[in-house]
C-alpha cells in the first residue's frame, strides 16, 4: 500500500489568515483605533477561530500523533518533544491573547501597540515552528501504515479546526463551495477555489 501525501492546503490557508489578522491588529493599534467597533469585531472573530484551531490540535490531532509516535521507534520517537513544544506555545499564546483583550476592552489601551506586536511575533514564530516541524511529522507518521486514520468520523477538522465549519470559509479570505455540507478539510473533494474573496484589507 502506497503512503498517501497529506494535503495541508487548508491548514496553510488558516495560518495565512491568522497572520493577516495580527497584521490588521497591529495596524489598528498603531492608528489608535483599538476601540473601533469594526476592530473589536475582527478581533473577536480572529480569537474565536484561533481558539477553535488550537483546541482541535490539542484535543484531536496532537493526541493521535502521540499515540502513533509511541508505536514507532528510532528518530520518529523524538517527535514527542515537538508536540510538547506545540502545547507549550499554545499556552503562551493564550496568555498573550488575554493581554491584548485587556488592552482592547479594559484600562490598558496605552499598551495595546506593544501587546499587539508581541502577539503577532509569537504567533508567527509558532506557526512557522508548526509548519517546519509538526506538519512534516504528521506527514511522516500519521500516513504510515500505523492503523491511525486521517480523521475519525465526526471528529473536529484537523485542517481548519472547526467541528463543522463550511460556513467559515469566508474568514480565511478564500471562497468555499456553499453546497459543501462538510468540514473544510473535506472541501477539496468539492473543488474549492483558492481565489481570494476580496474585502477590506483592514478591520476598520
Q: 42-71, pLDDT tens digit by residue?
A: 999 999 999 999 999 999 999 999 888 887
pLDDT at res. 7: 79
> What gap in Å lies between CA 68 and CA 157, rounded to an integer?
18
What is the pTM assigned to this prediction?
Answer: 0.74
Q: Which stretches of the chain score pLDDT less than 50?
A: 1-2, 145-168, 175-200
- Is 171 in contact with 198 (CB distance < 8 Å)? no
- In the structure grid, which three cell numbers stand for residue 46, read together? 480572529
Sequence spans of domains, the chain = 9-153
> What gap in Å lies between CA 144 and CA 74, rounded to an integer?
15
- How far is residue 108 from each of residues 37, 120, 157, measured CA to CA in Å? 17, 18, 36
> What gap in Å lies between CA 102 and CA 107, rounded to an integer?
7
pLDDT at res. 156: 42
> What gap in Å lies between CA 140 and CA 185, rounded to an integer?
19
Left if phi > 0, otherwise alpha if psi is -120 to 50, otherwise beta: which for 3? beta
pLDDT at res. 115: 96
DSSP for residue 130: I
> What gap in Å lies between CA 136 and CA 110, rounded to an integer?
40
Q: For cell 484531536, name the residue.
A: 60
Among 188, 192, 196, 193, which Cα is nearest to 5's? 188
pLDDT at res. 178: 42
Amino acid at each position: 500500500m502506497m503512503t498517501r501525501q497529506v494535503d495541508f492546503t487548508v491548514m496553510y490557508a488558516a495560518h495565512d489568515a491568522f497572520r493577516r489578522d495580527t497584521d490588521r491588529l497591529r495596524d489598528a493599534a498603531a492608528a489608535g483605533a483599538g476601540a473601533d467597533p469594526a476592530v473589536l469585531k475582527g478581533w473577536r472573530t480572529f480569537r474565536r477561530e484561533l481558539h477553535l484551531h488550537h483546541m482541535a490540535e490539542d484535543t484531536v490531532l496532537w493526541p493521535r500523533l502521540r499515540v502513533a509516535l509511541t508505536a514507532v521507534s528510532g528518530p520518529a520517537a523524538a517527535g514527542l518533544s515537538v508536540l510538547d513544544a506545540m502545547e507549550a506555545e499554545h499556552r503562551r499564546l493564550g496568555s498573550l491573547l488575554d493581554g491584548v483583550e485587556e488592552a482592547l476592552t479594559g484600562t490598558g489601551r496605552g499598551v495595546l501597540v506593544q501587546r499587539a506586536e508581541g502577539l503577532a511575533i509569537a504567533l508567527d514564530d509558532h506557526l512557522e515552528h508548526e509548519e517546519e516541524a509538526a506538519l512534516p511529522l504528521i506527514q511522516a507518521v500519521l500516513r504510515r501504515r500505523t492503523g491511525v486514520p486521517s480523521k475519525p468520523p465526526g471528529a473536529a477538522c484537523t485542517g481548519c479546526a472547526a467541528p463543522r465549519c463550511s460556513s467559515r470559509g469566508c474568514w480565511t479570505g478564500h471562497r468555499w463551495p456553499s453546497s459543501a455540507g462538510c468540514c473544510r478539510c473535506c472541501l477539496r473533494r468539492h473543488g474549492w477555489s483558492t481565489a481570494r474573496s476580496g474585502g477590506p484589507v483592514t478591520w476598520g
